[in-house]
Amino acid sequence: MIVNQIDSTTNFEEGVVITIDKPYKWTSFDVIRKVQAMLRYKLGYKKIKVGHAGTLDPLATGLLIVCIGKATKKIESLQSEEKEYMANVCFGATTPCFDLEKPIDAEYPFEHITEEGIREIIPQFLGEQDQVAPLFSAKLVDGIRAYELAREGSDLELKPHRITIHEMKLLQYNAPVADFLVRCSKGTYIRSLARDLGLALNSGAHLTGLRRTTSGHFRVEDAYSMEKIEKIFDELKQTRIRAV
């Protein structure tokens, strides 16, 4: 399996993994469609499988593992890897989706929250536990995405699922926003963690920023920007034209 090694000899059908730093407000599927389009229109791959190993919310940035060709067979194993995030949590207000994708729906006191108080509750979030995903999420419910049911106004209650938070550090607290490092298992919703932090501190909370920094042995520092990937594909296209 080739990882982040793209040149004129690369056979994408045989299996290539590209790590991409997903831009803000792009969906994970936006990235997949863009890569598919570049493979088709720049390099002539009319039918080739492209998928990703772990969804990132539109308002999140960071590491997205893109699998091409035969590498798509590795998606399930890559998805199961431990992940690390940098998260910004704002106390004192909630939103229906637990992040900034929808407007604030309720406000709560936060003046009582201190750095010491936050550090005191962190241990209760460590280890294996049940977590309820946000209604506005890609979680499947009888084959339908939860966000589709939520948009239809369905009276939906999601069942808890098992996750593990291996590490959680408070990096700084400038009221009402706290910055965390979180290392966790597949299936962990950091938006839900933000909600639960607010509840544990007798307030409300929502996520104001999220960046995935690692997944397994992959690191965002080694990932391509979308601009860089497009430039590489343009250069490959020109190389192939000159070779004809």
The per-residue pLDDT for range 57-104, each reduced to its tens digit, is 999 999 999 999 999 999 999 999 999 999 999 999 999 999 999 999
Query: Does the annotation count 99 as an active-site position?
Result: no
User: Domain segments of the chain: what residues?
Assistant: 2-78+218-243, 83-215
Residue 60 tokens read as 């999140």
CA–CA separation, 225 and 104 (whole Å): 31
> What fold is seen in the domain 2-78+218-243?
Alpha-Beta Plaits (3.30.70)
Fold of 83-215: Pseudouridine synthase (3.30.2350)
Q: Is 96 helix (H, G, I), strand (E, B) or coil?
A: coil
Q: Token digits for 222?
A: 């080694």
List of residues 6+ apart from 130 with CB closer than 8 A: 160, 161, 162, 163
pLDDT digits (tens, 9 = 90+) for 103-159: 999 999 999 999 999 999 999 999 999 999 887 766 766 566 666 656 666 666 778
Distance of alpha carbon 135 from alpha carbon 209, whole angstroms: 19
Which whole number is the average pLDDT over 163-186? 99
- Find the catalytic residue in 7, 21, 30, 57: 57
pLDDT band with cut points at 50, 70 and 90 for residue 224? very high
Give dist(CA 225, CA 156) in Å, integer.
37
Choose among 87, 185, 168: nearest CA to 130.
Answer: 185
